[in-house]
Amino acid sequence: MKRSITILLSLAALVTLAGALGAAPKEQVKLTVYNKNFALVKDTRLLDSPLEAGLNVVRFRDVASTIDATSVYFRSLTDPAGTTVVEQNYEFDLVNANKLLHKYIDKQISILTKDGELYEGTLLSFDGRQIVLGDEKQKLSLIERGENIKKISFSALPEGLLTRPTLVWELQAEEPGKHLVQVSYIARKMNWSADYNLVINAEETAIDLSGWVTINNRTGTGYKQAMVKLLAGDTGRQNLRRRELGFGPDYYKTLSELAPTAKLGPDPSRAFAEYRMYKLPEATTVNNNQVKQIELITAANVPVKKIYVYDGAKIRWNWYGRYWDRGFGREENKKVNVLLEFENRAEGNLGLALPKGKCRVYKRDEDKSLEFIGEDLIDHTSRDEKVTLYIGDAFDIVGERKQTDFRKISDRICEEDFEIKIRNHKDQAVTVEVLEKLYRWSEWTMLSASHEYKKINSRTIIFPVQVPKDGEVVITYSVRYKW
């Protein structure tokens, strides 16, 4: 039985969509790919057969098997006002071996086995293991399936079975002849992402960056010489103040900010609504089941800074929490994180919209070969924002953090003391950003501190300490919370 989805397109919907898409002078395919695993396909082509004046049945093949049939829009560019859609069907009952066999029950077929034996007769039944044929003398033949069968011959493709997904329209046409039509629809399972390769110099002070677009097509069809646009952006927003906050690199990344400037870099994108639109400069063929990569962004000698961060309190918390349990925050993290940070500014040879994606970092060894040293994901990043990459943990730098005292002064006041040690086993001095989250409550007073610290926000301080080679630094502080 033919399966179909029927849609009656209203005149209002046709007018709205037609105005949005505009006219197209020749046969062409345009793709707008979203990083939400779908694409808008705009296919302009001549129909295979001329239309007659009056009612016509038209088959439009080579559409995506992942098509959203409710999104299909049809327009004749040859006769926009006089050619209208009466009915639309999306037919996807594609041919396969079992469907062919089912259509040929009680009909003649022939089967050639791998041993060269030929069976001819009426197909009576079949399953996954065998086929049953009968002949005029009521003789039954049971033929094993699988590798035993070399060839099955049918007389023709039965009606209702298709080799490709097909849109079928009933069109009412006033102007007969060949029509150039414009068809658009949304197809699932096409996605794009950005991948960045960063090569850091020997001094670890600058990087060369190349950004590649990766398009993954799993729609079930290919698109030849398509003009491709890529839309970058997120449709939802998160409230950072109410979500659970982590520790280490995830938390440190939320602390970075830059002031905007008026300077622009060589940005290949443009603003589109609240998103960024990238357009590939030339037409490209996007085949089905293909991962295609195209270089989109290049930048050389971008200043970069290596940062060592130690966040010893391995906790998750939120801004509105009040944590009075003396044991909260005792779980210790010993790892010192290694981060690379650079500014997305025009002065630093960037200053452009960076779509979200994976950043892989490489460095040249003594033999000049590139070696992989870490990777991280970045979110959509506007110009004049910092990019912070967590590439791994330091092998030769170790941290320790412990609570040395906790005093409950009253029901609304408590005091807490900590000792933090940073040991450096490298052959040169390093600066470590010791990150302390004042997670118990937002109203706090530092009673004493062995080192100077920077107040980042109402709940965060950083002790920037220099640790000599083969040396150790011990930080102590005492804080009072009140509510």
Q: 105 and 42 share a domain? A: no
Vertex 90 angle, CA 40 and 46, to 5°: 65
Phi then psi for residue 428, to 5 deg, are -145, 160
Instruction: Mention every residue, 6+ apart, whose C-beta is less than 8 A from residue 445.
Output: 479, 480, 482
204 found inside a domain: yes
205 found inside a domain: yes
Provide the number of structural domains found in the chain. Answer: 3
List Cα–Cα distances, 234 to 238, 323, 358, in angstroms: 10, 34, 17
Residue 158 DSSP class:
P
CATH code where residue 115 lies: 2.30.30.100
Q: 406 and 446 share a domain? A: yes
Rounded CA-CA distance 307/389 in Å is 10
Where in the sequence is the domain holding 168, given as residue range(s)?
4-94+162-188
Task: Enter the pTM of the model.
Answer: 0.71
pLDDT score, position 358: 95
Q: 132 and 272 share a domain? A: no
User: C-alpha 403: how far from its chain's center?
Assistant: 42
What is the length of the chain? 483
226 found inside a domain: no
368 found inside a domain: yes
Q: 175 and 135 share a domain? A: no
Strand partners, 171: 56, 85
Q: 135 and 28 share a domain? A: no
Instruction: Mention every residue, 6+ apart, whose C-beta is less than 8 A from residue 315.
Output: 247, 328, 329, 331, 437, 439
Q: 48 and 77 share a domain? A: yes
129 found inside a domain: yes
225 found inside a domain: no
Q: 337 and 372 share a domain? A: yes
Strand partners, 375: 360
pLDDT score, position 93: 55
Q: 61 and 113 share a domain? A: no
pLDDT score, position 243: 52
pLDDT score, position 242: 46
- pLDDT per residue as tens, the chain (483 positions): 333 333 333 333 433 444 444 444 578 999 999 988 999 999 999 998 999 999 999 988 889 989 998 899 999 999 999 999 898 887 655 556 776 777 788 888 888 888 888 888 888 888 888 988 888 777 888 888 888 888 888 766 566 555 567 888 899 999 999 999 999 999 999 999 999 999 999 999 999 999 999 999 999 899 999 999 999 887 543 444 445 566 788 888 888 777 788 888 888 888 888 888 999 888 999 999 999 999 989 999 999 999 999 999 988 888 778 888 888 888 889 999 999 999 999 999 999 999 999 999 999 999 999 999 999 999 999 999 999 999 999 999 999 999 999 999 999 999 999 999 999 999 999 999 999 999 999 899 999 999 999 999 989 999 999 999 999 999 999 999 998
227 found inside a domain: no
Q: 42 and 147 share a domain? A: no
Q: 175 and 87 share a domain? A: yes
Instruction: Mention every residue, 6+ apart, whose C-beta is less than 8 A from residue 246.
Output: 316
Q: 81 and 102 share a domain? A: no
How many Cβ atoms are within 10 Å of 64's Cβ, its own excluded?
24
Rounded CA-CA distance 375/359 in Å is 5
271 found inside a domain: yes
Q: 404 and 302 share a domain? A: yes
